[in-house]
């Protein structure tokens, strides 16, 4: 007697991944083209993707291995070098080639070591809001009814809170604002957009024939959600999350600039921009270089998000 469970699982997999057949009815060995395969093919030919990928790889390398780029300490200064001289661009790579700040610390060393805090906040917040937002949106979109109404109203409540203002209020309640405190404050309010995008995608995907076939074959809710619905609903979420990553890095810098985000001794571009404003009339380089690095980082992630959007959006293909 054949194993009914094994037969049903095989039939379900066949529905989820149909094979190609020729006009004579014989199976063709050629793999079916998928959305992800076509997207990767387009991304490799997109100059925006290539440029942004190189920039992001370089930034990640700096964040993980700052010692490869400078041996100077970003926190130890020499008051003898207080605002000493202008940047010496001819001495590229040296400790003082970008000048010194008010405490005699190397601007170049702080620029390199500040990359880690900004990148860490951006990536950590993006991962948290993507996981939380995707789960909430997937549950709301799949079950509908009362569950959808409750989760949607909860999302609307959080969505109605101004993002930066809410983060400022949350951070104000902490006496010590470390990197992970800032991550928590931004992630606590940033999951709503992902939830809305995932909910809409799931409502569309759950009407597909392969989902109805999986239900008819007796597949459980968890299997349907994570094997059939989630992979086919993730494309718009990935696009939104990639673009939002640059926004979270910018939000961290804004909060640090206002004195409500990261603070010394943590090295951050936002902290240096805030300190550079005090000397904008005499030593503009203290403000200029962290601002340039912040702009390049945000631009790189926005370019990556746009390239991914163009590759995954069927309307633009």
pLDDT confidence of 181, banded at 50, 70, 90? very high
Segment 230-246, tens digit of pLDDT: 988 998 899 899 989 99
**Predicted local confidence at residue 93, as pLDDT:** 52
As a whole number, the mean pLDDT across the chain is 82
pLDDT higher than threshold 90 for residue 219: no
**Predicted local confidence at residue 158, as pLDDT:** 93
**Predicted local confidence at residue 298, as pLDDT:** 93
**Predicted local confidence at residue 198, as pLDDT:** 95
- Residue bearing the bigger pLDDT, 12 or 248: 248
pLDDT higher than threshold 50 for residue 287: yes
- Residue bearing the bigger pLDDT, 245 or 42: 245
Q: Which of 232-236, 278-282, 284-288 has the lowest mean pLDDT?
A: 278-282
**Predicted local confidence at residue 86, as pLDDT:** 57
Cβ within 8 Å of residue 310, ≥6 positions away: 42, 46, 316
pLDDT higher than threshold 90 for residue 75: no
pLDDT higher than threshold 60 for residue 9: no
- Mean pLDDT for 258-264 is 85
**Predicted local confidence at residue 131, as pLDDT:** 95
Q: Which domains can be identified in the chain, with CATH numbers?
A: 33-316 (1.10.3720.10)
**Predicted local confidence at residue 21, as pLDDT:** 45
Q: How many CB atoms lie within 10 A of CB 126?
A: 25
Cβ within 8 Å of residue 230, ≥6 positions away: 134, 138
Segment 96-117, tens digit of pLDDT: 678 788 788 888 889 999 999 9
- Mean pLDDT for 209-231 is 89
pLDDT higher than threshold 50 for residue 4: no
pLDDT confidence of 7, banded at 50, 70, 90? very low
pLDDT higher than threshold 50 for residue 23: no
């Amino acid at each position: 007697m054949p194993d009914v469970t094994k037969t049903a699982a095989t039939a379900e997999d066949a529905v989820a991944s149909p094979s190609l057949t020729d006009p004579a009815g014989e199976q063709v060995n050629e793999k079916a083209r998928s959305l992800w395969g076509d997207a990767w093919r387009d991304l490799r030919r997109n100059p925006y993707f290539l440029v942004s990928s190189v920039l992001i790889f370089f930034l990640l390398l700096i964040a993980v291995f700052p010692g490869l780029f400078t041996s100077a300490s970003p926190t130890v200064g020499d008051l003898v070098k207080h605002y000493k001289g202008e940047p010496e661009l001819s001495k590229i790579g040296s400790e003082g080639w970008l000048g010194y700040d008010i405490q005699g610390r190397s601007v170049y060393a702080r620029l390199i070591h500040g990359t880690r805090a900004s990148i860490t906040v951006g990536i950590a917040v993006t991962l948290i809001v993507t996981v939380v937002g995707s789960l909430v949106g997937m549950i709301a979109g799949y079950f509908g009814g009362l569950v959808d109404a409750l989760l949607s109203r909860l999302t609307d409540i959080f969505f109605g809170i101004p993002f930066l203002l809410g983060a400022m209020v949350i951070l104000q309640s902490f006496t010590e604002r470390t990197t992970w405190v800032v991550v928590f404050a931004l992630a606590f309010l940033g999951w709503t957009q992902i939830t809305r995008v995932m909910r809409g995608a799931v409502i569309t995907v759950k009407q597909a024939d392969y989902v109805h076939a999986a239900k008819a074959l007796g597949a459980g809710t968890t299997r349907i959600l994570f094997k059939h619905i989630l992979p086919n609903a993730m494309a718009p979420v990935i696009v939104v999350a990639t673009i939002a990553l640059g926004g979270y890095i910018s939000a961290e810098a804004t909060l640090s600039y206002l004195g409500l985000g990261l603070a010394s001794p943590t090295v951050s571009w936002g902290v240096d921009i805030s300190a550079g404003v005090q000397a904008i009339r005499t030593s503009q380089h203290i403000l200029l270089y962290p601002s340039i690095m912040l702009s390049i980082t945000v631009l790189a992630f926005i370019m990556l998000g746009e390239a991914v959007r163009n590759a995954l959006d069927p309307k633009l293909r």
